[in-house]
A and B are shown apart, each in its own frame.
Chain A
Amino acid sequence: MKYIKFLLTGVLLGIVFSKSEIISWYRIYEMFRFESFHMYGIIGSAVILGSLGIQFIKWKEFKSIE
């Protein structure tokens, strides 16, 4: 049962991969030809939000130690 949250997270991830066409060979080819912003937008927004979130967690941990 402790694995159910990983299964559900995986299902969410699979739906995101498929619905936003990240796994499409054609989208990846288009990205390497610099003919669409789509993939750059996905990776860029995921990384910017992710790094902001991680910095926020570190800052909160730092505060709690103080």
Chain B
Amino acid sequence: MQEFIYDPWPWYISGPLLTLVVFILLYSGKNFGLSGNFRTMCAIAGGSKFSNFFQFDWRAQKWNLVLLFGVMLGGFISANYLSNGEDLLLNPSTIVALESMGFHAPNGAYLPLEIFGTEALFSSWSGLILLFGGFLVGFGARYAGGCTSGHAISGLSELQIPSLIAVAGFFIGGLLMSHLFLPIIF
């Protein structure tokens, strides 16, 4: 039991737990989707002065901000109290591909310091890439009306064709980035 808590969870545990979350929210009359919070935060910050897109009743979306805060809290609990701090067991050929771009093996981290570390953040080239990436995430998630959680998990579960198109788009984008752009940028 103890090993189960501290070891990484296999897909057949996590997938059904994600479904459980979708149904807890559906039971409360809510749709699972995290990036809607971008719009809510912009509306709270006074975005309605600049665009009609932010003129909506954001108070009705407070539950989603609470959910997002819970996600961060859960991540903190998991990283500090439920983890054995062992390295990710990546496919060896993935590690070879990473090394060919000058990236180190994970070493217990979830994000490569080469892109997300403090040093990279303050070097102008990596800093600009992060800024541009953040812009694309914010723009794309709103333009498509959702991100991976809303379209891939909720939307596909509801057999929505627009979500299927969005997920195909995410996937093509990810393939292009991983195979074409990432080796050029780094």
Question: Which A residues contact B (CB, under 8 angstroms)?
Answer: 3, 5-33, 35-47, 49-51, 53-54, 57
Question: A10-B69, A20-B11 in contact; A47/B153 too (CB < 8 A)?
Answer: yes
**Cα distance, A8 to B70, chains bound together (Å):** 6
Residues 60-105 of B at the A interface (beta carbon under 8 Å): 62-64, 66-79, 82-83, 88, 90-91, 93-94, 97-98
Is B36 in the interface zone, CB < 8 Å from A?
A: no
Is A20 touching B9 in the complex (CB atoms < 8 A)?
yes
Which residues of A are found within 8 Å of B112, using beta-carbon distances? Answer: 25-26
Q: Is the CB of B74 within 8 A of A15?
A: yes
B185 within 8 A of A: no
Residues on A with C-beta less than 8 A from B64 are 6
A29 to B99, alpha carbons, bound, how many Å?
A: 13
Q: Which residues of B contact A18 (CB under 8 A)?
A: 74-75, 78-79, 82-83
Interface membership of B23, Cβ < 8 A: yes
Q: Judging by beta carbons under 8 Å apart, are A12 and B11 in contact?
A: no
Chain A residues within an 8 Å CB radius of B153? 43, 46-47, 50
Instruction: Confirm or deny: B111 has a beta carbon within 8 angstroms of a beta carbon on chain A.
Output: yes
Q: A64: shortest Cβ distance to chain B, in Å?
A: 16
With contacts A19-B83, A46-B153, A47-B153 known, what are 13 further pairs, Cβ within 8 A?
A6-B70, A12-B21, A14-B71, A14-B74, A32-B174, A33-B179, A38-B11, A46-B14, A49-B19, A50-B19, A50-B158, A51-B157, A53-B22
Q: Given A26-B90, A45-B16 in contact, is the A21-B71 Cβ separation under 8 Å?
A: no
Residue among B75, B88, B154 with max Cβ neighbours from chain A (10 Å): B75
Find out whether the CB atom of A14 lies under 8 angstroms from the CB atom of B19: no
